[in-house]
Homo-oligomer: A and B are copies of this chain.
Amino acid sequence: MSGQRKTAQASLEAMYRIFTIPEAPDSTLSRLDQDISRNLTGFLQDHIVALEREMGEMEKDFQDPRVPEKPIFVSEQAQFLLDKLVSQSVHTASPSFVGHMTSALPYFMLPLSKIMIALNQNLVKTETSKAFTPLERQVLGMLHHLVYGCEDAWYRQWMHDPHHALGAMCSGGTIANLTALWVARNQAFPPEGGFRGVHREGLFRALRFYGHEGAAVLVSSRGHYSLTKAADVLGIGRDNLIPVATDADNRIDPDALRDRCLELQRQKIKVLSIVGIAGTTETGHVDPLETLADIAQEFRAHFHVDAAWGGPTLFSRQHRHRLKGIEKADSVTIDAHKQLYTPQGAGMVLFRNPASVSVIEHHAQYIIRKGSKDLGSTTLEGSRPGMAMLIHSGLRIIGREGYEILIDQGIEKAQSFAAMIREHEDFELITEPELNILTYRYSPARTQAALEQADEAAAERINASLNRITRFIQKTQRERGKSFVSRTQLEPAQHNHYPCVVFRVVLANPLTTHDILSDMLEEQSGIAREERIAGERRALESAVASVLEGTEQAAQ
């Protein structure tokens, strides 16, 4: 063999080895694998550096746009990931990280995920997924039952029927909402006479054929941004995702909704869909779904409920009434990677009528042939992993009772944290928790008193200052890495709809305790007292003083 051929042969064998020879038990990667199995919490604590590094600094480790010419050792890459990536990742499982919707995972999700990855099924068709197909159909059936609670015979009839689907699994809530509105749009402009339907002829001809000047989707101003994205993608246009005013509790105002619908009707704009929210992303509030269902029916619009967050509340006997009316929805989005506690990448949309998907059905010669049970004929995505296995396992291992406990304790915790905030002299509760989400802000008792009496200009000065301090606290706390709350901007009725920066807390991690929450508040309170923000605090104090003294003088 020539030298060159020998090298080529050696390279080929090296490639062959990575497909056939397991990592040695004492390799870096195997040790990490075992560490995670033995003690996930320890692994995360040991390897994630709490202190935040500048993004610019981190980017230095990810600069090279070239794929390396020569393979590097697995151990080298493992060490690199450990030093540069794992260390600088976010401790999403930490009980003091209550700013986002990612919680700790149940332990069993880890080995199960490994089985899922090892099997590497593709759920687009039965040929590459076999039993995963009926499994996924069952998971959709279980969640459908949770929402709609049809008779057992109904599920026996439809759950595994090749021409129907109780829902569509997908990578997350955004695709779920998009799929729901896709169905809504296609149902609104079906084939008729010479018109072959919007799915075939497109939106331009559909509107022309049906004599509309446009199409719209309505949702409260607290709707998730994925709906705007969906309106864009579907050709409806972002401006036709109509935000409807909310009441003081961040719930859609049904009168305002009906008025907007009437107005659109007058403008010959078709109301495609009314979207209710079961757990808004920012404040966790639930729209009056029953009323929305009636309005949707009045305007013959598709009624969709975005329950990406709040859906699993239905497991709780105590709290499921908050979602009353969801069973009237034509479609419902639920994210499994939120309150069903699976890893990222598992969402779904459910359809009350299992024939709904027919308007988005598609087929090809080599795949998802007509009459096959292939799931891919009614999903927006093509190739998809077997995440249904993890949802199935969660539903069975945690059970209805287990999810109920998780939901109930989250809501309880939110209520007692709200009480803690109300009693604290530095903070103001902005939104009461209906589910397990609440918002508050830095606003000392004296400032709150001043705001009650302030005129518009003074209130604006004070609120602007509170916004800056709240933002500073949130940022500083995040950078220190001990705990994390997120922030958003709300226009609370109690502050005359002035845009207020608020802390947002999501209490879904069962490991979050009252002590952790109390420490978190104290840390925030301490940050507010720091020298770096003293100037701002003085400005606030002076604005507050001038209001209070002015009032005192007026009273004399």
Contact = CB atoms under 8 A, between A and B. Distances in A.
B104 A19 contact: yes
Contacts of A409: 12
A234 interface: yes
Contacts of A66: 142, 145, 152
A33 B20 CA distance: 17
Given A62-B135, A203-B202, A119 B106 contact: no
Q: Which of A18, A41, A99, A484 has the most CB of B within 10 A?
A: A18
A107 B486 contact: no
Contacts of A231: 202
Contacts of A386: 344
A425 interface: no
Interface string A341-358: 001110100000000000
A89 B22 contact: no
Given A65-B145, A202-B236, A382 B174 contact: yes
A205 B237 contact: yes
Residue among A117, A207, A504 facing the most chain B CB atoms (10 A cut-off): A117
Interface string A406-441: 100100000000000000000000000000000000
Interface residues of A, number: 186
30 contacts: A11-B405, A15-B405, A19-B510, A25-B37, A30-B37, A32-B111, A33-B111, A33-B114, A44-B118, A67-B400, A70-B399, A77-B108, A77-B397, A89-B130, A93-B120, A109-B117, A114-B114, A171-B381, A174-B380, A182-B233, A200-B239, A202-B239, A204-B207, A204-B208, A204-B214, A205-B214, A229-B380, A232-B362, A366-B486, A366-B504
B121 A383 contact: no
B62 A120 contact: no
Given A107-B21, A129-B89, A345-B385, A235 B367 contact: no
Contacts of A373: 55
A364 interface: yes
Interface string A488-521: 1100000000000000100000110000000000
Given A281-B366, A345-B171, A402-B71, A117 B110 contact: yes
Interface in A448-479: 478
A32 B335 CA distance: 28
Contacts of A15: 398, 402, 405-406, 510
How many monomers of this chain does the complex have? 2
A121 to B, nearest CB: 6
A138 interface: yes
Nearest to A64: B138
Interface string A53-71: 1010011011111111111
Contact of A130 (B14, B88, B108): B88
Contacts of A365: 282, 488-489
A134 B366 CA distance: 38
